Amino acid sequence: MISNLSTLIERAKENPPKGVVVAAAEDVAVLGAIKKAVEEGVVYPILVGNKSEIEKVANSIQFDLSNIEIINNDDNDSLHSAEIAIEQIHKGKASILMKGNIATGTLLKAVLNKEKGLRKSKILSHVAFFESPYYHKLLCVTDVAMNISPSLEDKVHILNNAVEACHKIGIDRPKVAVVAAVETVNPKMKATIEAAELTEMNKNGVITGCVVDGPLAIDNAVSKDAAALKDITGEVAGDCDIILAPYIEAGNMFYKALNFLGGASVAAIIMGATVPIVLTSRADSTQSKFMSIALAASMK
């Protein structure tokens, strides 16, 4: 069991620093997070973008770049910066990709390029790990940012991506709660039907490496008391490691409620590519961006 995000930093420090390449690195919050990750000794960065702008931003936050590789791209083409960054991964110079001052769609266009990209799984999905003052361990929430209305097949890939992320940080048999508005199957509620199907797939060995239960309402997934009141038993109820959201609206609102109302801290990455991708929101703090880098660096 991992109870706090700081454990990820310690896990990352158990191995030599990993290479992280930043596409369009001329961004103050991103460079602030990279600076902290360098100071903690968890990564060595390669910065791709307009060199003069990168240096200007770094100077503003007292980030010494004298021993850091910068690949200059001053044509103001962020897609080109993403392509250069991905090329560094193919060359083996880095094992983490990070979004800088570039639109998410532009970065993903380069990542999903069939010839030169980083495509691995059929589905890329957002995987967030929360440290909440109201929960006894890290809570993974997926998918809140990538897949709008995933099909049952898509949900299998999203679930597997989250399970893989858990395995890579040392959670060997994560408990997956497939959540919906209610904990019973209702033929008028697609989310409950698909939750039951995913649970059955797990029982039949189609989905492995985890234990799946659903449909579960959020309260039953995270509270043993709430589950007991409704006579819900099983390994997952009240003790889940992963919450699989039914669609993006539900997942995104839950994610932001935890962040802005629930006092939780978060680290998040994109899974499904050949390397973890640190792709944070503009609203995420420098600390959240740093913890996302630590999450990626802690993965075995």
Domain boundaries defined on the chain = 6-120+273-298, 125-260
Q: Which helix (H) or strand (E) segment is 54 a member of? A: helix 51-60
Residue with token string 């509620």: 189
Nearest-angstrom CA–CA distance, 88 and 45: 11
Per-residue confidence (pLDDT) for residue 240, from 0 to 100: 98
Mean pLDDT (whole number) for 117-129: 94
Output 220 or 284, whichever has higher pLDDT.
220
Indicate if the pLDDT at residue 1 is higher than 90: no
**CATH level 2 (architecture), domain 6-120+273-298:** 3-Layer(aba) Sandwich (3.40)
Nearest-angstrom CA–CA distance, 250 and 215: 14
Query: Helix and strand tally (H, E) in the chain?
Result: 11, 11
* Percent of the chain surpassing pLDDT 90: 93
Indicate if the pLDDT at residue 282 is higher than 80: no
Mean pLDDT (whole number) for 30-48: 97
Residue 27 class from Cβ within 10 Å (0-12 exposed, 13-18 middle, 19+ buried)? Answer: buried
Question: Shortest CA distance to 145 belongs to which of 166, 164, 161?
Answer: 161
Mean pLDDT (whole number) for 148-166: 97
Nearest-angstrom CA–CA distance, 131 and 289: 14
Question: Shortest CA distance to 283 belongs to which of 172, 144, 184, 163?
Answer: 144
Nearest-angstrom CA–CA distance, 251 and 258: 11
Q: Which residues neighbour 101 within 8 Å (Cβ) at sequence distance 6 or greater?
A: 24, 25, 26, 27, 30, 49, 78
Mean pLDDT for the chain overall: 95
Mark 241-267 as b/e (b = at least 16 C-beta within 10 Å). bbbbbbebebbbebbeebbeeeebbbb
Mean pLDDT (whole number) for 203-222: 97
Give the global pTM. Answer: 0.95
**CATH level 2 (architecture), domain 125-260:** 3-Layer(aba) Sandwich (3.40)
